[in-house]
Amino acid sequence: MEASRDISRLIEIMAALRDPVTGCPWDTQQNFASIKPYTIEEAYEVADAIERNDLDDLCEELGDLLLQVVFHARMAEEAGEFSFGDVVHAVTHKMIRRHPHVFAVSEASTPGAVKMQWDEIKAQEKLERAERRANRGITEDFGDGFLGTVHRSQPALTEAQKLQQRAAKVGFDWSEAEPILDKIEEEVGELREALRSGQQAKVADELGDLIFALVNIGRHVDADPEDALRGTNTKFRRRFSHIETELQKSGETLEAATLEQMEDLWQAAKAIERLVT
């Protein structure tokens, strides 16, 4: 099998990878849940390529993201639910329906009118989707509640922040930042108890509560949690790179270094940062 510009070749490749007899042992063991993290990761890598203005990487990362779509569609087809063709049909139908000013007859001729028309069509689609979900027995959907405008299809930190902002509109919020610190300490205590219990589900639950509280204080002090964490990630990369570089200068490796050595170099990196800021 050779590479091709035709999408059908990619669909054939995925079908071959998923073949229960002759396919790839790793691919055949995957399901929607196990593939989901990779799908999210690929979307972020597309965004990263755009931010770096690296069009070579963007081409490759878009291919990786497309592969995820084909992967999910293949698993759905195996389950008798839908195929890649159905995915294409659904999105083309949606785009044609939402752009009657382009593909049909419409009086919407200004950006504002187009936006209003788009919202009306989306509202109708939402009703149709709710009916389909009900027919499939899917009942838990918060879309009709006050928090329904906060979509779940976004990073968890962003969702948490927007949920809090939305709830604050009706007064369900802390009046100032200080009490949130007490709440954080409370959540740390509950996390400690969960760790002592050894119950993994309880640990994960309490960790989520702690992170939610941290997002809350970030909102109150006007520090976006996503940006704050990204800044810390950059700082961690910089300090860890210092550790690696200094060890290499000494003819040592990360694998052979002791925790004490790495901690000393970490503190040295922090000291350097204080001198330059």
Q: What is the pLDDT of residues 28-54, one digit of tens each?
A: 999 999 999 899 899 989 988 998 899
pLDDT(216) > 80: yes
Give the tens place of pLDDT for each residue, 195-206: 999 999 999 999
Rounded mean pLDDT of the chain? 90
pLDDT(141) > 70: no
Note the pLDDT of residue 16: 96
pLDDT(2) > 90: no
pTM of the model as a whole: 0.61
Question: Which residue in this structure is represented by tokens 């209003």?
Answer: 116
What's the mean pLDDT in 220-237? 91
Per-residue confidence band for 140, with pLDDT thresholds at 50, 70 and 90: low
Please tell me which residue, 276 or 205, carries the higher pLDDT value.
205
Note the pLDDT of residue 227: 87
Percent of the chain with pLDDT over 90: 64
Q: Set out the domains of the chain in order of their start, with CATH numbers.
A: 7-141 (1.10.287.1080), 153-223 (1.10.287.1080), 227-276 (no CATH)
